[in-house]
């Protein structure tokens, strides 16, 4: 008997191709005798079904495994909501790049069947918690699997901020912002900003300046247990935004303090046995062997 009996499904509801894959997956799982639970929003796009429906958070309590059908963005959203429940996630790629959702739609029955029979590899990923305080009072918070980003917001203006790592002053920087990325996010926005690719198993965080005013400002890689403090410069004209995985947007004020550290809960990602990080980089990033 499979260790996964109750299986939650989350999908991108606005995508017709995702709906097709969801229905195919539901038919397969129910045909194999598994209990399927549809996430509430996902269920609105899947007509004519008798499947149980649940909120996204409730899936974490009810399910042994959650399968996400969509792109990396869909899996990021599921990870932020479900990490605290320790339920593992498996991704079916219906997006573009698919660094996190690594099963193709054509492989659904075969690859999912292998995973359910115990033929899989589990990978632990850490997330980041972010909070903003103003005059000592909380303003907002968020969680990120990929990255926390400080950026100018609505207007393209250079911003100034102070950076502290583990209580030690690092620098005052003038730039378009700063990306604080996990290894998972190192192949996303941080890579576009000139940051290094980090293997997912690394316990490290990379800080990537966005168009810094000085050419000597370069990405910094620090240990994963580091705690970060950003103080928004009081002379900024713009009101910088801080976002987590492009979501949980908070508009800051001059003098606000942004704190970022590793989340106590980790995410378990499930991959087929033939998953290979370097092969994923070769295919997704266009690396060539000749």
Q: Rounded to 10 degrees, what is the CA torsion of 33, 34, 40, 41?
A: -90
Task: Find out whether 193 is annotated in a ligand binding site.
Answer: no
Scan for tokens 């509801």, then name that residue: 13
Task: Find out whether 102 is annotated in a ligand binding site.
Answer: no
Give the pLDDT score at 170: 97
**Marked catalytic residue, from 72, 102, 245, 256:** 72
Give the pLDDT score at 92: 94
The SS3 of residue 250 is strand
Give the Å distances, CA to CA, from 11 to 47, 97, 174, 264, 268: 14, 16, 40, 27, 19
Task: Find out whether 236 is annotated in a ligand binding site.
Answer: no
Residues 6 or more apart whose Cβ sits within 8 Å of residue 233:
159, 160, 161, 162, 172, 254
pTM: 0.93
Tell me which architecture the domain covering 6-118 has in CATH: 3-Layer(aba) Sandwich (3.40)
Burial class (CB in 10 A: 0-12, 13-18, 19+), 181: buried
Whether residue 274 lies in the annotated active site = no
Task: Find out whether 127 is annotated in a ligand binding site.
Answer: no
Counting as low any pLDDT under 50, the low residues of the chain are none
- Cα 184 to Cα 195: distance, rounded to the nearest angstrom: 13
Give the pLDDT score at 102: 84
Q: Which residues, listed in sequence order, are joined to residue 67 by a DSSP beta bridge?
A: 9, 90
Give the pLDDT score at 50: 77
CATH number 2.60.200.30 given to 128-264: yes
CB 114 within 8 A of CB 120: yes
CB 205 within 8 A of CB 180: yes
Give the pLDDT score at 29: 95
Task: Find out whether 74 is annotated in a ligand binding site.
Answer: no
Give the pLDDT score at 250: 96
Give the pLDDT score at 290: 57
Give the pLDDT score at 237: 78
The full set of domain ranges for the chain reads 6-118, 128-264
Q: Which residues, listed in sequence order, are joined to residue 7 by a DSSP beta bridge?
A: 36, 65
């Amino acid at each position: 008997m499979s260790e996964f009996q109750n299986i939650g499904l989350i999908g991108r509801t606005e995508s017709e191709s995702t709906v097709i894959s969801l229905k195919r997956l539901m038919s397969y799982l129910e045909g194999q005798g598994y209990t399927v639970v549809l996430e509430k929003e996902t269920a609105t796009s899947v007509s004519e079904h008798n499947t149980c429906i649940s909120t996204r958070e409730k899936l974490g309590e009810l399910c042994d495994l959650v399968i996400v059908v969509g792109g990396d963005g869909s899996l990021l959203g599921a990870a932020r909501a479900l990490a605290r429940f320790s339920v593992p996630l498996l991704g079916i790629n219906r997006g573009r790049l698919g660094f996190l959702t690594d099963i193709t739609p054509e492989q659904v029955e075969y690859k999912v069947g292998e995973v359910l029979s115990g033929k899989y590899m589990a990978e632990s990923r850490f997330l980041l918690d972010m909070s903003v305080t103003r005059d000592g009072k909380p303003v907002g918070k968020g969680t990120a699997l990929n990255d926390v980003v400080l950026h100018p917001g609505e207007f393209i203006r250079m911003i100034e901020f102070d950076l502290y790592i583990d209580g030690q002053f690092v620098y005052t920087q003038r730039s378009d912002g700063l990306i604080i990325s996990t290894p998972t996010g190192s192949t996303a926005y941080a890579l576009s900003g000139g940051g290094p690719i980090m293997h997912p198993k690394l316990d490290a965080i990379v800080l990537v300046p966005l168009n810094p005013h000085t050419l000597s400002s370069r990405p910094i890689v620090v240990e994963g247990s580091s705690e970060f403090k950003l103080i928004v410069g009081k002379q900024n004209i713009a009101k910088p935004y801080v976002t987590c995985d492009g979501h949980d947007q908070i508009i800051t004020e001059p003098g606000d303090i942004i704190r970022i550290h590793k989340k106590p809960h980790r995410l378990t990602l499930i991959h087929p046995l033939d998953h290979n990080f370097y092969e994923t980089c070769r295919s997704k990033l266009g690396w060539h062997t000749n």
